[in-house]
Structure 1
Amino acid sequence: MARKEPLLSALKGGVLRLREGGGPCTDTSPHLTSLCQLLESILRKGLQQPAWGFRRRDYWHWLEQLPTGTSGGPTPLSASIQQAGSCQGVRTAQGRGRHFLRLALQRKVLAAAVQQLAQTPRLLEFYDPVSSILGNEDLLEPFLSLLLVMTEMDFSLDLQNCSFLDESWLLPVCITYETVPCRALGMVLRYVDGRVFVTEVLPESQAEVDEVVLAGDILDEINGCSLRNAYNGQAGAMLQKLKGQPLSFRLLRWRWHDGEVYEPLLPYLKVLKEKEPQFQLQRGPRHRSEGEPWGLHGGRLLYNLRYLGQTSVGKCGGKEVLDRAIPTVLERHAAAREVLFDVKEAEVLIREKPSSKLLCRYPYPTISCVGRCMDSSNVFAFCVAASPESPDRSTFDCLVFASSSEQECEEIIRRIAAGFKHTEWFV
């Protein structure tokens, strides 16, 4: 008669709780972390250690030795093992094992890995047949049954968010920050134990205009290149090589989902504070004030504006045309259209307010000028190339908007102007 195994009972309960949630299991699912911890405990239970002081074994060490399968090409299982083994975001056997478990849940290959272990005697010897689950035939069968149930569940995980798996199952909030080519981003960086921290966002810089990066965040990748375990100056050297090119950063937020400091960061922040006593975590963009009448779409704050219309201004798109273009639009007295106005890192997006449907997008290189109507303090306009793909024959259109206040109007003008000012040298 098989002994009762508390870990299997707990895993069964964890699987049931996840299934009750309905829909795909994501990184924000409340029971995901505990499920992963249970799987890891089962894979470690009864794992025998070498007698002569060689490296300490973890479950990753048998995973990476599993047979690769047939000669017909990589299987989903072997591809997952290879991806975990070559991932630059993790550095330890624990991190690689955890990264594999997340890959395996999403790709439904964990049961296949355990079945392959059971058919490989030399690897099965890693486990004590008395105290383990994987080395005990009576316990292995119910464990495999639970894994097969999990293959029927859908997981939708951010598999790139892995660079804290060496330390914790708790993962940080991870975002992508894309910005235009510019002379200097305006981020002050400090290296702490292989992590690249942003310690300051400089005033009037591209990073401040973009309103994404905050002091305390970590640069995890630049254009797909990992900065995990970075040496001093590595990020700066990469940015120098990429000068004049669009940039894509993977950022790890210092603030977790609950608004508090992401707990695994605390030891790093302590060291950072010792190195830079003046360092402070930045809770929001410097110039954003409370109570601004912005909308919300996909986690981004947008301006609520009225689109008053547009007019063609011919082949000249300089600021001088605004003095006649804005009155021309206002004199038509056309019905205003409520829109959401998004000044992004590389472009301006305009959405229909009721539906959030995208109406148009204007990359900064297509914007030739922006300015305000002197007779009406809350009206502004900007000119765009009507045919940017044919610059020699292009004409310009002037788009006119009304904001809720003079302050908001000036804010939008400043942000748009900063956007194309940072790119004009490159265009």
Structure 2
Amino acid sequence: MSVTHPLLKILKANILELYTEERVIHDYNLNLAPFCRRLEDIFTLGLKNGNNWFGKPSYWAWINKLPQQRNPSFDHTVHFVKDCLKTSTVDGKGRLFLRAALVKKNLDIVIALVKENPVLLETWYERDSIIGNEILSEIFISLLEQVKTITFSLNLKNASYLDVTWDIPVYKDYEFVPCEALGIHFIEVEGHMIVLSVDKGSVAAEDGKVQPGDVLDEMFGESLKDVKRGRVQELFQHYKGIPVYVSIIKAREYSGNIYRPLRTALHELSIDPLKHQDEENSEETNGIDCVKPPHTILEEEETEMTPVHGPDGSASYKVTYIGEYSLGSDGRVERIEDGVLKVLQSNNRKNLSVMIYLSETGIKVRSLSGDEEILNHSYTEVSACGRRTDYLQHFSYIAGETSCNLSKDFVCHVFHASSQELTKVILCAIANIQCCCRLQLFAILRLENVPGGQHT
């Protein structure tokens, strides 16, 4: 009879889910947190107190006791976690270690080292655990060997909330010009520097980089976790006259929702990042403009215009149609975020190889296998197009059952392209053609409202 364990089966499924995405896994990958939680479950299963009878059982405690100078990569990982000032609990240290070991591709070494030390293994694990069982631990190692074929590009600086959660916030590094003041007002809450307000017209307010509810995590490379408020001003004065380097934990997640560990504190401070974003959007011009929508330009530093067609002048592109999500009567561009997410999380993905055709009048999508027409929308039915910042090879457009101003049933259609560059080209093509169509319609309406005016 084969020996197995439910957690190992789930872990294997988690690994397969990672393989369905791009081979480089970033912090914003939706499958990362479930995978890491499963690793933690396995490391915690059957864990004893070891020699620490009064402390909480912790896998970091025994990892920290493994013999050093056996593997340089493992030693470096352990020292990195020990020296990190952003994690203070055994849970946080353990989670940071798992993330660092995934990046360094040495997680299998940890299990091999503890198996070589029977006394340590028996001290910390029950025999019916996965790590304490000879056969199950070998299966676990074989799965970790598969994990090593995946590249994890994780921001290990982003560790200030690992003490309380596996959910990783959006993390931004900014370089501001030398200045007398950044224009940021903040308060210390449970060891975190939360931004209360940002002065309009200040350096920090440029392009909305820093917003109320964000957390100051680092300044000039120094952690601000659990430091006194005065330390921020000391650093600013010490490095006065040079560019200001600041690392920010954003109040909003990749999905657009408020980051969960911040919700209680922001509520008590009467800070609503969602309302603040809506107020910023309302200040933008409502005029018709042929500049590409913000959702089609995702890199903050990007300034070059992207061509609307491929290098061969073609307006047809081979992509994968992932699926659709009904948005009801709301066809705003903001719905791109949750529309894409809902489709990617769905168990009913279509995953069809298709050609998307962009004509002067609309968008057509045909199946590559049977040349069947799957979608056909005129630009007057398309309300928005764009992509999420965490899935750059996925793009989508929102279309109604009739012209946008009359439609009551909008649907978000999601696609996957072979590269980020191709996604950008397609989105810019849709945005520019759609924009020109709207300008022509606007010109017709203006002409028809002029006495004696006519259109040919």
Coarse TM-score class (shorter-chain normalised): 0.5 to 0.7
Cα distance in structure 1, aligned partners of 2:175 and 2:121: 47
* Change beyond 3 A, Cα 1:42–1:52: closer
CA distance in 1, matches of 2:238, 2:49: 46
Aligned counterparts of 2:144 and 2:113: Cα–Cα separation in 1: 13
Question: Which of the residues 110, 113, 119 maps onto 1:113?
Answer: 110
Deviation for aligned residue 1:290: 4.6
Q: Note the alpha carbon deviations across 1:135-187, whole angstroms, 9 max, x for none.
A: 11121111111111111222221222111111111010011111011111111
Aligned positions of 1:79-118 closer than 5 A? 79-118=76-115
Larger Rg: 1
Matches within 5 A, 1:347-362: none
The CA deviation string for residues 361-392 of structure 1, in whole angstroms up to 9 with x for no partner, is: xxxxxxxxxxxxxxxxxxxxxxxxxxxxxxxx
Correspondence list, 1:396-415, <5 A: none
Contiguous gaps of at least 5 residues in structure 2: 306-423, 425-456
Supply the AA of the counterpart residue of 2:44: R
**Is residue 201 from structure 1 mapped to residue 198 from structure 2 by the alignment?**
yes
Distance 1:242 1:159 in 2: 25
Q: In 2, are the aligned partners of 1:2 and 1:138 still within 8 Å (CA)?
A: no
Do the aligned residues in 1 keep the contact of 2:89 with 2:163 (CA within 8 Å)? Answer: yes
Measure the CA separation in 1 of the matches of 2:279 and 2:28. Answer: 25
Corresponding residue number in structure 1 for 2:449: none
Pairs within 5 Å for 1:246-265: 246-265=243-262
CA deviations 1:188-216 (Å, max 9, x no partner) are 11111110011111123222235311111
> What's the CA shift string for 1:80-136, capped at 9, x where partnerless?
111011112211111111111111112110000110011123321243433311111
Distance (Å, rounded) in 1 between the aligned partners of 2:95 and 2:43: 11
Kept in 2: contact 1:189–1:200 (CA 8 A): yes
State the AA in 2 paired with 1:283. Answer: Q
1:229 partnered with 2:243? no
Q: Does 1:42 align with 2:16?
A: no
Secondary structure at the residue paired with 1:300?
coil
On the 8 A contact 2:48/2:126 being kept in 1, the answer is no
Alignment partner, residue 283 of structure 1: 277
Deviation at 1:253, TM superposition (A): 0.5
Distance 1:86 1:51 in 2: 23
- Give the secondary structure class of the aligned counterpart of 1:91: coil
SS in structure 2 of the partner of residue 125 of structure 1: helix
Matched residue type, 1:191: E
Counterpart in 1 of 2:59? 59
- Gap runs ≥5 in structure 1: 274-278, 306-355, 357-427
Q: Percent identity?
A: 32
What is the rounded CA distance, in whole Å, between the counterparts of 2:261 and 2:134 in structure 1?
38
**Is 2:140 the counterpart of 1:146?**
no
* Partner residue in 2 for 1:19: 19
- The residue matched to 2:46 in structure 1 has which SS? coil
Instruction: State the one-letter code of the partner of 1:256.
Output: E
Q: CA deviation at 1:64?
A: 1.1
- 8 Å contact kept, 1:179–1:210: no
Could you tell me how far apart the structure 2 residues matched to 1:231 and 1:216 are? 19
Aligned in 2, Cα 1:303/1:10: closer, same or farther, shift over 3 Å?
closer
Q: Tell me the SS of whatever aligns to 1:100.
A: helix
Q: Deviation string for 1:232-254 (max 9, x for gaps)?
A: 32222222222222111110110
Measure, in 1, the Cα distance between the counterparts of 2:248 and 2:264: 19
Whichever residue aligns with residue 39 of structure 2, its letter is L
Task: Give the secondary-structure state (helix, strand or coil) at the position aligned to 2:74.
Answer: helix
Shift of 1:304: 9.1
Structure 1 residue 291: Cα displacement:
4.4
Residues 1:108 and 1:242: Cα distance change in structure 2 (over 3 Å): same
1:160 to 157, 160, 184: 157
Distance in 2, matches of 1:272 and 1:63, equals: 39
Kept in 2, the 8 Å contact 1:127–1:134? The answer is no
Shift of 1:20: 2.6
Q: Secondary structure at the match of 2:264?
A: helix
The whole-number CA distance in structure 1 between the counterparts of 2:81 and 2:222 is: 16
Mapping 1:295-374, distance limit 5 Å:
295=292, 296=294, 297-300=297-300
Amino acid at match of 1:188: H
Does residue 68 (structure 1) correspond to residue 68 (structure 2)? The answer is: yes
Q: CA deviation at 1:49?
A: 2.1
When residues 22 and 190 of structure 1 are mapped into structure 2, their CA distance, relative to the original with a 3 A threshold, is: closer
Cα distance, 1:269 vs structure 2: 1.6
In 1, the alpha carbon distance for the partners of 2:74 and 2:279 equals 44
Q: Determine if contact 1:106/1:156 at 8 Å carries over to the other structure.
A: yes
- One-letter amino acid of the counterpart of residue 48, structure 1: K
Counterpart for residue 181 of structure 1: 178
Structure-1 residue corresponding to 2:313? none
* Contact map agreement 1:192 1:272 (CA 8 A) in 2: no
Cα pair 1:211 1:285 within 8 Å, conserved: no
Distance (Å, rounded) in 1 between the aligned partners of 2:51 and 2:303: 66
Q: CA RMSD in A?
A: 2.8
Work out the CA distance in 1 between the residues paired with 2:304 and 2:95: 44
Query: What is the identity, as a one-letter code, of the residue corresponding to 1:55?
Result: G
Q: Which residue of 2 aligns with 1:343?
A: none
Change (3 A) 1:270 1:123: farther
SS of the residue 1:13 aligns to: helix
Classify 1:225/1:132 alpha carbon distance in 2 versus 1 (closer, same or farther; 3 Å): same
Aligned to 1:372: none
